[in-house]
Chains A and B, each alone.
Chain A
Amino acid sequence: DAMVIQNPRYQVTQFGKPVTLSCSQTLNHNVMYWYQQKSSQAPKLLFHYYDKDFNNEADTPDNFQSRRPNTSFCFLDIRSPGLGDAAMYLCATSRETSGSYEQYFGPGTRLTVT
Chain B
Amino acid sequence: GQNIDQPTEMTATEGAIVQINCTYQTSGFNGLFWYQQHAGEAPTFLSYNVLDGLEEKGRFSSFLSRSKGYSYLLLKELQMKDSASYLCAVSDSNYQLIWGAGTKLIIKP
Contact = CB atoms under 8 A, between A and B. Distances in A.
Interface of A: 40-45, 88, 90, 92, 97-100, 102-108, 110
B95 A45 contact: no
Given A42-B4, A42-B87, A42-B101, A108 B42 contact: yes
B48 interface: yes
Contacts of A102: 33, 45, 48
A99 B97 CA distance: 11
Contacts, number: 48
- Where chain B touches its partner, the secondary structure class is loop
A78 to B, nearest CB: 19
A107 B42 contact: yes
Interface residues of B, number: 23
A72 to B, nearest CB: 18
Given A103-B45, A108-B41, A42 B31 contact: no
Contacts of B91: 98
Contacts of B102: 40, 42
Contacts of B50: 100
Contacts of B43: 43, 90, 103, 105
Contact of B97 (A41, A103, A104, A110): A103
Contacts of A42: 4, 87, 99-102
B99 A43 contact: yes
B21 interface: no
B20 to A, nearest CB: 15
Interface of B: 4, 8, 30-31, 33, 40-45, 48, 50, 87, 91, 95-97, 99-102, 104
A87 to B, nearest CB: 13
A99 B31 contact: yes
Contacts of A45: 96-97
Contact of B104 (A40, A103, A105): A40
A90 B33 CA distance: 17
A100 B95 contact: no
17 contacts: A40-B8, A40-B101, A40-B104, A41-B101, A42-B87, A42-B101, A42-B102, A43-B43, A44-B99, A88-B40, A98-B95, A100-B50, A103-B45, A104-B45, A105-B43, A106-B42, A108-B41
